[in-house]
Structure 1
Amino acid sequence: MSTGPNRIMDDFAKLMTDAAGAAQGVRREMEAAFNAHAERWLNSMDVVKREEFEAVREMAIKARDENDALMKRIEALEAQLAAKPKASRKTDSSAD
């Protein structure tokens, strides 16, 4: 059994350890309460979550790429269509 100054130091060390544990518990409770409050506040504001934003962003990029590819195909088809009547007109006029 500890006596004298050693016992006082042991008791003080135990007290500090218990205080540190209690402080960590309070910190965890405060963080949980803050996170819950912040989440409620963000939900009430209709803020989009990061995952949802990234999903929509990827969809927009894909749609833009598809749109660009379709525009190139349309331009190529229009160029072919514009070239055909000229060629057929030359053939028709040379037959006269």
Structure 2
Amino acid sequence: MQTKNKILDDISQIMNSAMGVAQGARDEAQNALRSVVDRMLADRNLVNREEFEAVRAMVQKAREENDALHARLAALEGQLRGSAAVSADERSSGPTTPSL
């Protein structure tokens, strides 16, 4: 922006330069803070979101498989009890000796 007043042009340039420097300082401060936070998290053995979600998916799959196996085991135990009950009935209704 060109004006007839040299002083206003100089002030404008100084302000633009100051804004650029302030923006650069802000970016450097953000990067420094981000690196400090990342280092602190790494020191505490915390996981990032991607790792957490991957482990969470594995746990959910394992839980579903465990539930399916539990249901299958319960069904097999029910069949075993049913066949044991039939065997007990066969023994009790099998050939009996006449009582004297």
TM-score, normalised with respect to structure 2: 0.81
Equivalent residue number for residue 83 of structure 1: 82
Question: Which deviations, in whole Å up to 9, do the C-alpha atoms of 1:10-45 show, x marking residues without a partner?
Answer: 111111111101100011111111111111121111
- Structure 2 unmatched runs, 5+: 96-100
Aligned length: 94
Equivalent residue number for residue 54 of structure 1: 53
* C-alpha RMSD of the superposition: 1.8
Equivalent residue number for residue 41 of structure 2: 42
Equivalent residue number for residue 70 of structure 1: 69
- Structure 1 unmatched runs, 5+: none
One-letter code aligned to 1:28 = D
SS in 2 for 1:48: coil
TM-score, normalised with respect to structure 1: 0.84
Per-residue deviation, 1:66: 0.8
Query: Sequence identity, in percent?
Result: 45
Per-residue deviation, 1:47: 1.3
Distance 1:2 1:64 in 2: 73
Distance 1:95 1:41 in 2: 77
SS in 2 for 1:78: helix
Distance 1:61 1:40 in 2: 30
SS in 1 for 2:47: coil
